[in-house]
Amino acid sequence: MPEKTNCRLVMGLFWGDEGKAKAVDVLGENADIVARYGGGANAGHTVCFEGEKFVFHQVPTGLLREGVIGALGAGMVLDLPELVREIKELGTRGLETTSRILISPRAQLVTSLHKRIEKIREKTQGIGTTLRGIGPTYTDKYSRYGLRLGQLLKKEGLSDCVKRLIESHRAFFEAAGEPTPTEDDILGPLMETKPMLANLVGDVSTFLTEAIRSGKNVIIEGAQGSMLDVDWGTYPYVTSSSTAFSGVSSGLGIDPRLVGEVVGMVKAFTTRVGGGPLPTEVFGEEAEKLRGTGENEWDEFGSTTGRPRRCGWLDGFALAVNCRRWGINRLFMTKLDVLDGIKEIRLCSAYKIDGKVRRDYPSIVEELARVEPVYEELAGWDDGVFCAESFDKLPENARYYIKRIEQVAGCPVGWVSTGPDRVNTIVR
């Protein structure tokens, strides 16, 4: 094995939407492969360049660059009709991807049954999910009723598998007073995707292992963020997968030591979509300034669901905990430009609960509801970050903000993004 591989993980350190796609696009300039290890169509990854905007959901962002191969790992839950739609849409925009995608036969399939279950459950559970069938599909994976891509391609056993899946949920649909889906309801739309997708299925684990060992440039594209991780996030207000470094090895079938660098994504302020704790949340005018009106393409409205994102000051305590936990080597910071014009910036450097400073991150939401963020007040700046091209050209107070974040996080900031386009990036 090479001493230091050319394989980088880009993972979100908050509740998603930290700008992972932008980072994957920038860091992927010389990439051979970009791989996704978890999640599915709940992800919304936006890349802007030369005035064009692309939003990726299941297709790895790196495919925007010519010649890059995109791998979809076993840890993903795939909505095949949506994947076909996404591939076709990219095709109509001149981006041919079908010859450059490799999908693991072990990936679980989101079916119409799963999306219907989620719709019913959300009425009472109220997580504020993306309604892409993610939770029910992962649930069935672990209860061993799931349908995998490899099984869909084999006639033998397929009908039995789908029947078992249906029977495991019959009582649920009956109790909800809704018709139970039939085998045709489930398989019909999936079968239609076979002509396009069957040839793209292959052994992602071996492919990636050999590529990384032979020195290929590989980017692993995280989805969601570590605060949405099913074990380490703000449970139960999380997604249903291992979104952080821990999901990489199982999701792709690779030795975790093949990952040469872990890049942590941090936005200059904090956001989340859906329900659940957000200790540094702000409201009213303060929130509107961070969120924007929706006029700019980067304003804080979900790229998958269009919902307004909740906004708050940068949660440096969550950042520090996540940098330690996931062994972050360098931070990639986005959206510093959004703070242009804010007179006073607040940075949360610690949590207090019942007057006591926390060392560990609270594990239950009832405790999180009692968090008092400890804020540092920093002087803002008028303008000058948007599209800035070098660290020296940033306003002095912006440079100080970055330095203070590094101290609080205990991790260096390697990149500062000053606008949505790939060229708006300062490499330090």
Catalytically active residues are 17, 45
Quick one: what does residue 243 bind among Mg ion, ligand IMO, ligand GDP, none, with the CB cut-off 5 to 8 Å set by partner type? none
Tell the smallest beta-carbon distance from residue 397 to ligand IMO (Å): 29
Are the beta carbons of 394 and 385 closer than 8 angstroms?
Answer: yes
Q: State how far the Cα of 295 lies from the Cα of 196, in Å rounded to an integer.
A: 37
Out of 6, 16, 136, 244, point to the residue binding ligand GDP (CB under 6 A): 16
Could you report how far apart the first and last alpha carbons of the chain are, in Å? Answer: 29
Tell the smallest beta-carbon distance from residue 300 to Mg ion (Å): 10
Tell the smallest beta-carbon distance from residue 14 to ligand IMO (Å): 9
Q: State how far the Cα of 24 lies from the Cα of 10, in Å rounded to an integer.
A: 7
Q: Which ranges in 266-410 belong to alpha helices (H)?
A: 284-291, 316-326, 365-368, 396-409
Instruction: Select from 244, 196, 348 the least CA-distant residue to 16.
Output: 244
Interface with ligand GDP: number of residues (CB under 6 A): 23
Binding letters toward ligand GDP, positions 317-346, x by CB under 6 A: -----------------xx-xx--------
Quick one: what does residue 134 bind among ligand GDP, Mg ion, ligand IMO, none, with the CB cut-off 5 to 8 Å set by partner type? ligand IMO
Residue 241 has φ and ψ, to the nearest 5°, of: -125, 170
Out of 19, 44, 60, 181, point to the residue binding ligand IMO (CB under 6 A): 44
**Biggest CA-to-CA distance, the chain:** 66
Tell the smallest beta-carbon distance from residue 182 to ligand IMO (Å): 25
CA distances to 56, 306, 355 from 53, in Å: 10, 15, 46
12 binds ligand GDP (CB under 6 A): yes
Asked if the peptide bond before residue 236 counts as cis, ω within 30 degrees of 0, the response is: yes
One-letter amino acid of 120:
I
Tell the smallest beta-carbon distance from residue 305 to ligand IMO (Å): 7
Quick one: what does residue 132 bind among ligand IMO, Mg ion, ligand GDP, none, with the CB cut-off 5 to 8 Å set by partner type? ligand IMO
Binding letters toward ligand IMO, positions 270-299, x by CB under 6 A: ---xx-------------------------
One-letter amino acid of 375:
Y
One-letter amino acid of 218:
V
Q: State how far the Cα of 308 lies from the Cα of 306, in Å rounded to an integer.
A: 6
Partners of residue 7 on adjacent β-strands: 218
Are the beta carbons of 220 and 248 closer than 8 angstroms?
Answer: yes
Quick one: what does residue 337 bind among ligand GDP, ligand IMO, Mg ion, none, with the CB cut-off 5 to 8 Å set by partner type? ligand GDP
Window 260-319: residues binding ligand GDP (CB under 6 A): 297-298, 303
Helix axes 134-143, 112-125, angle to 10 degrees: 110
Tokens of 80: 């095949």
Quick one: what does residue 228 bind among ligand IMO, Mg ion, ligand GDP, none, with the CB cut-off 5 to 8 Å set by partner type? ligand IMO
17 binds ligand GDP (CB under 6 A): yes
Are the beta carbons of 17 and 303 closer than 8 angstroms?
Answer: yes
Per DSSP, the three-state class of 242 is coil
User: Which CB sits closer to ligand GDP, 258 or 265?
Assistant: 265
User: Which CB sits closer to ligand IMO, 84 or 134?
Assistant: 134
**H helix or E strand, kind and range, residue 263:** strand 261-267
Residue labelled with tokens 């049954």: 113
Quick one: what does residue 127 bind among Mg ion, ligand GDP, ligand IMO, none, with the CB cut-off 5 to 8 Å set by partner type? ligand IMO
242 binds ligand IMO (CB under 6 A): no
Tell the smallest beta-carbon distance from residue 117 to ligand IMO (Å): 12
Taking the CB of residue 52, how many other CB atoms lie within 10 A of it? 11
Quick one: what does residue 22 bind among ligand IMO, Mg ion, ligand GDP, none, with the CB cut-off 5 to 8 Å set by partner type? ligand GDP
Out of 7, 26, 200, 223, point to the residue binding ligand IMO (CB under 6 A): 223
Tokens of 239: 């997604």
Window 397-426: residues binding ligand GDP (CB under 6 A): 417-420
Tell the smallest beta-carbon distance from residue 15 to Mg ion (Å): 10
DSSP-assigned letter for residue 130:
-
DSSP-assigned letter for residue 301:
B
Partners of residue 55 on adjacent β-strands: 46
The residue ranges that bind ligand GDP (CB under 6 A) are 12, 16-22, 44-46, 48, 297-298, 303, 334-335, 337-338, 417-420
The residue ranges that bind ligand IMO (CB under 6 A) are 12, 15-17, 42-45, 127-130, 132, 134-135, 223-225, 228, 239-240, 273-274
